[in-house]
Amino acid sequence: MPEREIILTLDGLKKLEKELEILKTIKRKEVAERIKEAIEFGDLSENSEYEDAKNEQAFIEGRIIALEKKLRQARIIDETDVTTDAVTIGCRVRLKDLDSGDELEYSIVGSVEADPAENKISNESPVGKALMGQRVGSVVEVSAPIGLLRFQIMDIQK
């Protein structure tokens, strides 16, 4: 089965590469030191410090493997390919909520980069899917647990 393509912006790529570098160069050393110190306490069968450090080591190694896999599968969205004609991955979209009148701004990113706290929504999310390919002035409707959401696209930027 072919691996699923991971879509990343250049910023997303840099963020994943930085996390991987920190895990490999800093976190690995820190947890190895914790394991070494815990071994010095003696009996490993009742050594919670050792157990905690080994669990953290397993988490770090798993995360490294996952990040390396994502980076191998990555397709980088080149900012020069992003247009403002229609909503695509890599653009910023200003929306008007037609029910409340509020204006919102989101960056459309691949699912790996999605972070609602930073107003980065995935192209695979319900709102992201509805926006993809739409133009300024278009009205999109999104079914949500709280009911039907209606947005008008006010602006698209790189």
Structural domain boundaries in the chain: 6-77, 79-157
CATH code of the region 79-157: 3.10.50.30
Residue 8 scores a pLDDT above 80: yes
Beta strand 6-9 pairing with 74-77: parallel
- Percent of the chain topping pLDDT 90: 73
Tell me the backbone φ, ψ of residue 147, rounded to 5 degrees.
125, -165
Residue 20 scores a pLDDT above 90: yes
Which pLDDT band holds residue 104 (cuts at 50, 70, 90)? Answer: very high
Helices (H), the chain: 10-22, 28-40, 48-73, 126-131
Residue 1 scores a pLDDT above 60: no
Residue 89: predicted pLDDT = 92
CB 109 within 8 A of CB 97: no
Cα distance between residue 140 and residue 130, in whole Å: 6
CATH architecture of 6-77: Orthogonal Bundle (1.10)
- Listing DSSP states for 104-147 in one string gives EEEEEE-TTT-BGGGTEEETTSHHHHHHTT--TT-EEEEEETTE
Three-state DSSP class for residue 3 = coil
CB 118 within 8 A of CB 127: no
Average pLDDT, the chain: 91
CB 14 within 8 A of CB 6: no
Three-state DSSP class for residue 73 = helix
Average pLDDT over residues 53-61: 95
Residue 139 scores a pLDDT above 90: yes
Residue 24: predicted pLDDT = 97
Give the pTM.
0.78
